Structures are given as C-alpha cells and as structure tokens.
Amino acid sequence: MKKPIKVAIIDDHPMVITGIQNMLASRKDIEMIATYESGEALLNGLKQQQPDVLLLDIQLPGIKGDELAEMIREQWPSVKILAMTGFDTPFYVRNMFEKGCLGYLLKNTGQATLIHAIETVNKGETYIDEALKEQLLQHVLKIKKTSVPGAPPVLTRREKDILRLIVQEYTSQEIADTLFLSLRTIEKYRLNMLQKLHVRNTAGLVKAAISMGLTE
C-alpha cells in the first residue's frame, strides 16, 4: 500500500482550514499533518517537518503568500506548493507560478477537484483550476496582440499614483489608507505593474520605475 500524501495548509481563516480538513478527513490516501495561520508559524513548522503538498493561501497578514512560496522553493524544494485563493485574475496565477507554485486552485472548489489538484501537484505536475484556463488563454492572446517590441509599458494614472508611493517605501496598507482603497485592490494593482514591467518583486518594480522615469 502506498504511503498517504502528507498535506499541510496555511490560511489565516480558521473556517477555511476546518472546511478543508473536513473534505479530506475520509481519505486514507491523504494525511493532514499540520495547519498554520501565519507565515512565521509555517516557516517554524517546516523546520520540524515538511509535507509533500502545501496548500498556500495568497493573501496573508505579515509575510505574503508569494514571498512564502519563494522562501519555501529555496529552503525546502521538495515541498510542492498548491496556491489556494479567491483571486481569479491571470496576474495572480502567473505570479504564483513564477514564485515556485505547481498548482493554482480557487477556494470555492469542491472536494473532488481539491483531491485531484493535490494528487496532480504531488506527482510534480502542474494544475490550474479549470475555471481559470480560458481566462489565461484570453490574457495571453491579448498580450500578444497589443505588445509592441521596444515600446515602454503604459501605466494608468492610478498605477502611477501607487508606484510613486511604493518608491517612497509606503507599505501596501499605508498606500490603501492614503488612496482610500482596499488592501486587496492595492495588491491587485501591484501585481498588474509587476506584469507590465516584467519584474519579479517590489525591489525590481522600484528599480524599473526609476530607470524608466515612471515616477516623475
């Protein structure tokens, strides 16, 4: 008999953790070995034991999901990461895969889909929620259609406002408070700009913005 797939989950909402635990409770081929509600707790826990598959929430307090994914890829490369989120935009999908995730799953998924995603990622294969595949295809086609080689990226007025505050070292929460927007909206804008400027993180975003004169 094969060993069960060892699974851990990190999410700052206890009800989400409980719901996933309930969906997996009857499975003998999947074992939930740990749950975490913060990035700090996860990193400490991984020092003691590593799951085969980690279900990773994207929007977390403190250390963000994409930052955690990158840390885990560097320190515990054997851990296969399945991002679980309510964000259904191509920007988030691309960012999480670039950070080292093997799968991307929406939180409104059912039991069968969750299990299939875990099994797929555990094999080292890529999994993308079926509901997102058409969006990703249309996004790629749109980029190819509108992209002009050598042309500078075009940022909206709101993106430029946010970029200026990022360069001034404002946190996402401070930017949200300053512009009277939600934290989730700011994160969405930030990932959109990462996509447009072809950089991997905030440091690269700032460097590109300054070098291209986008903060003037």
**What number of other Cβ atoms are within 10 A of residue 113's Cβ?**
16
Q: Please state the separation of Cα 10 from the chain's center in Å.
A: 12
Number of domains in the chain: 2
Residues 161 and 204 in one domain: yes
Written as one letter, the residue type at 26 is S
CATH number, domain of 172, equals 1.10.10.10
pLDDT in single tens digits along all 216 residues of the chain: 689 999 999 999 999 999 999 999 989 999 999 999 999 999 999 999 999 999 999 888 888 898 999 999 989 999 999 999 887 777 778 788 888 888 899 888 899 999 999 999 999 888 887 777 666 655 444 444 444 455 556 778 888 888 888 888 788 889 989 999 888 788 888 878 887 777 777 777 777 777 666 655
Q: What is the pTM of this model?
A: 0.66
Count Cα neighbours of 23 within 13 Å in the Cβ-side half-sphere: 19
Contacts of 127 (CB under 8 A, 6+ apart): 82, 102, 103, 104, 105, 116, 117, 120, 121
Predicted confidence at residue 191, as pLDDT, reads 79
CATH number, domain of 64, equals 3.40.50.2300
Predicted confidence at residue 126, as pLDDT, reads 85
Q: Which residues constitute the domain of residue 166? A: 157-211
Predicted confidence at residue 69, as pLDDT, reads 93
Residues 192 and 105 in one domain: no
Written as one letter, the residue type at 56 is L
Residue spans of alpha helices (H) in the chain = 14-24, 39-48, 65-75, 90-98, 111-122, 130-146, 157-167, 172-179, 183-197, 202-211
* 145 domain-assigned: no
Predicted confidence at residue 148, as pLDDT, reads 45
Least Cα distance to 167 among 193, 144, 146 occurs for 193
Predicted confidence at residue 152, as pLDDT, reads 57
Predicted confidence at residue 151, as pLDDT, reads 54
| Residues paired with 55 in a beta bridge | 9, 82
